[in-house]
Structures are given as C-alpha cells and as structure tokens.
Amino acid sequence: METPMRTRAWQAVCAAAMLGAGSAWAAPAPQAAPAPQAAPVQVGVAAAVSGRVLAGEKGKPSRALRSGSPVYRGETVASGPDARLQVLLLDETVFTLGADTSLMVTEFIYERSTHDGRLTVSIPRGDYRFVTGEIAHKDPAHMRVLFPSGSLGVRGTMVAGRVDASGASAVLVGPGPAAPSTERPGAFTLEGGGGSIDVTKPGTGAALPAADGAEVAAPPAALPAEEAQSVLAALDPEPASSDDAEAGNADGGESSIAASEEEANANDGGSSDEAPSGELAAFDGSAETGEHDAPGAEDASQNATQDSADDGFAEEREEAMKAAARFAQGAATWDDVRTIESGTGRYAGSGVFTLAQCGGGACETPVGSMNVNLNVDFGARTVGGDCGGGCAPSQVSVLADDPSALVDEFASINQTSFAALNGGASLSAQSDSRALSVDITLKNAGGAAASQAEVTANYVEPESGTSGSGTVTADFVSDGGGI
C-alpha cells in the first residue's frame, strides 16, 4: 500500500537515478554505430550500507559502496565479513544482503509508465532477503533469482534465504493469507535438479542441494523448521550503525568479486543482456486470480505475526528509500563531502579540448584532448596533491596541435584540507604560465555524495591570440573505502 512518505522518497530516488543514469528506466535504445565502450546501465542504488562493500566487474577496478552509490547491471556487489546493505532497484524491488554475500543484476528492463519489464538476479553466496517490486507485481514470471544449482520464481512476495556450500535455501516471509485483497498472497517456486517445489505458507521454506559436480543435481525438498528459523534470523537484528565504509576488512574483496562474477555468469551463460534460456514453469491458477486456501484456526497466530512482518518490511523499504535519496543531485557542499568518513581514491576522466582561435585566426585542427586526475583522501579530509607515491599527481592537462598553435599545458592542484571548509565543494587552479585556468566542482550523482567532479578548463594566451576550452565529468575511482 502506497504511503505519502514512500511515494515522496521513491520519487526522490527516481529523480536522482534518472538524472544520474539517463534512460535507465527502459531498455537501452539501439545505437547507430557501436561505441568503443558501452556506458554502464544503472539499475538501482545502495542503501543502509554497514561495513565494507565492494562493487565491480571482473577485470576492472572495484569501488567501495556507501548509501546512495549507484548499482549497475552486470557488476557484482560483494559484502565483507561484517557488512550488510540493501540494494534498491528502480522498480522498487529491495534486496537486503548480509555478511559475505554477493549479488549481480544480470538483466534489468523496466518501463516505468507501464511497470512492464524483466528482472534476473544472481546470488552465488550468502544470506539474502528481498521484497518484490513493480516488475514482479505486474507479471511474476518476469522475475527470476538464480542460484548455482537452480532458480527461484516468485509471485508478489517477500523471501529470505541462504546460499552456501551445501546449496540454496529459501523461506517465504509473506505476505500471508491475510494480505490486503489488492496484493497477491506470497508464494515461490524453487527449481533445480529436474524438479521443483512450491512454498505458499509463510515461515516455511525449501532447500536445493548443491550439484557437487554431479551431472544432475538433486531436486529441491522441504526445509526443516529449525533451518527455516535460522534463515529468517540471519539478517536480524539490524546493525547498530550504517554508512561505515571501513567497519569491515576487505578480506580479499577484489578476488571475491571476481569469483562471484564467475559463478553468476555460470548461472546465466555469462550474458548480462539476455534472459537465461528457458522460462519458469507456470504457476497454478491462483497466480492469476489471487485465490488461495482459507487459513485454518491453527494459522491465526501466524497471520498476526505476518501482519507485523509485513509492516516491518514496509518500514524497511521506506527507510532504505530515504537513505538512497539522501543527497540532492547537483553541486555538492563540503558538508556533503565530509559525510564520507574514510577511503582514498581519485576523480579521473578525459574528454575534448577545443581551440576557439589559433594565432588570432581560425584553427585548422581545433579538436584536442583534456585529462583530469584529482586525488582525494576522505579520512584525512584532503583533496589534491599527490598520494605519497604510487599514483599520478593531481592535475588537469590540455593538448591541442594546430599548424598555427600548439597548446600543451597543465595546471597542478595543490593539496587542500576540507576539514573546516564551508559552502560549495569547489576548487580552482592555474598553470605556471597562467594561460590555463581550471575550475572544479564536486557533484552529487545517483544519490551519492561527491561521486563526480565537473572540471572546466579555459586557455587564453593573449600574445599569440590562441584560446580554447573544455569540460570533463570525472568519476570517482576508489582505492579502498570511500564512495
């Protein structure tokens, strides 16, 4: 049931995500010509992050996640030993992940106006819980959760589970039979090993054994009650604090991302753009009509408990959405930057530098290049300068080679403490010749504080009559912790 708070919070999340990720609400439009590298497709944001959580693709640098950080299709999100977080997808699906858990959104297509779409999520390991969103509410068959030895299909539901060396388990959390008439009663089907099992009663579950190298894995079976309770309790109680990106040790986070991505790719054939082959077996008629067996007297206590669970999940979703909408899109303030308590990295990017005049006249080859590197240490509250060795210096460089003018200039950005700075998070610098002037504005994007730097360079050399300009949006690249 929609509430004004939920609606406002989700609108804020949507606005930030749409501005930060363009048309991530729908399937990407076909390109007229193949681009050298496809832009990442944002599918949601992280929220309620506690401990160390990394995200990345195999073979690429990982980044540390904090509340409000964007989550992209095809990247693995991996939590550390003492970590926990929520992943809010743009259709309002919410995944809660416990410690040592990994997740990858391998397919996400969503049309906001109609709620049509497809969602496939791979969970290779760890404790998880999810509340379905608009895609599954519109058509339950269009959401699938993949495990190393099988898959799970849902209808309008909340599920908790665990994936470990013994296999995958799932427990139905709700909604129960007493759910509002506008909501489908909760249910899921666990499939694998040539068999399947339906779970329709809250508090009960099913388990799917690991394949263990067998050509045909064993089919799923009912989960013993004590194991179901263990799964339900795995993500409770809530951690005492959140947004502590250094609370846990990485413990091989980079390698765990690579391993998790290999498992996720094995689950769906390695594709992040197409649905895995085969469809879930059709649910029985109650999936379409919303019918279900009337509860007996023995279910009265369970239904009361379920009402409380439903309320708790609604509150959890609202809190997650508010956390994701925490930072307004646009120019950041130094107060925003100081909310990032730890971590180091750099803002890095490149783009076009364009000559306007060459030697006082027109330019034959006006297009040049512009490169940005800006180091930052959130824990030490410094930006600019070098990092004590092993990294590029903080500078903005421009290069343009026209027959009438050669521009090869850079401006160094000296280290600045922002521990006590107020107002907008901006910096400026000049080259030694003062011909090149640089203005830098840190920006909030995708709900995350200071996740980008917008850098503008202006070159004016009065004696030769040569001038030019360029603008680059540099993304933050984490060395550990931080954004």
Is 296 found in the same domain as 191? yes
Is 398 found in the same domain as 289? no
Q: How many C-alpha atoms does 70 have within 13 Å on its Cβ side?
A: 26
Under 8 Å between Cβ of 415 and 440: no
Please state the rounded mean pLDDT for residues 104-109: 95
Domain interval for residue 222 = 4-26+39-324
Ramachandran area for residue 308 (φ above 0: left; ψ -120 to 50: alpha; else beta): alpha
What are φ and ψ of residue 369, in 5° steps? -130, 160
> How many degrees, rounded to 5, is the angle at CA 276 between CA 275 and CA 282?
90
pLDDT greater than 60 at residue 251? no
pLDDT greater than 60 at residue 270? no
* pLDDT tens sequence across 146-168: 999 899 999 878 899 999 999 99
Is 427 found in the same domain as 399? yes
Q: Which amino acid is present at 159? A: V
Q: Which residues contact 349 (CB under 8 A, 6 or more apart)?
A: 371, 372, 453, 455, 472, 473, 474, 475
Q: What is the Cα–Cα distance from 91 to 156, expressed in whole angstroms?
A: 13
Q: pLDDT at position 310, please?
A: 52
Q: What is the Cα–Cα distance from 135 to 115, expressed in whole angstroms?
A: 6
Is 188 found in the same domain as 97? yes
Is 302 found in the same domain as 172? yes
Q: How many domains does the chain have?
A: 2
Select from 324, 349, 375 the last residue of a domain: 324
* pLDDT tens sequence across 378-416: 889 999 998 766 789 999 999 999 988 999 999 999 999
Q: Which residues contact 62 (CB under 8 A, 6 or more apart)?
A: 54, 55, 56, 253, 254, 257, 478
400-403 LR contacts (CB < 8 Å, sep 24+): 400/353, 400/354, 400/355, 400/365, 400/366, 400/367, 400/368, 400/369, 400/468, 401/365, 401/368, 402/355, 402/358, 402/363, 402/364, 402/365, 402/366, 403/358, 403/364, 403/365
Is 256 found in the same domain as 114? yes
Q: How many CB atoms lie within 10 A of CB 396?
A: 28
Q: pLDDT at position 229, please?
A: 86
Whether 196 is in a domain gets the answer yes
Residue 418 exposed, middle or buried by CB count within 10 Å (0-12, 13-18, 19+) = buried
Percent of the chain with pLDDT over 70: 68
Q: Which amino acid is present at 296? A: G
**Straight-line distance from the first to the last Cα atom of the chain, in angstroms, rounded to the nearest whole number:** 33
Whether 22 is in a domain gets the answer yes
Q: pLDDT at position 462, please?
A: 92
Query: What is residue 282's three-state secondary structure?
Result: coil
pTM above 0.75, yes or no: no
Whether 91 is in a domain gets the answer yes
The enclosing domain of 315 has a CATH number of 2.60.120.1440
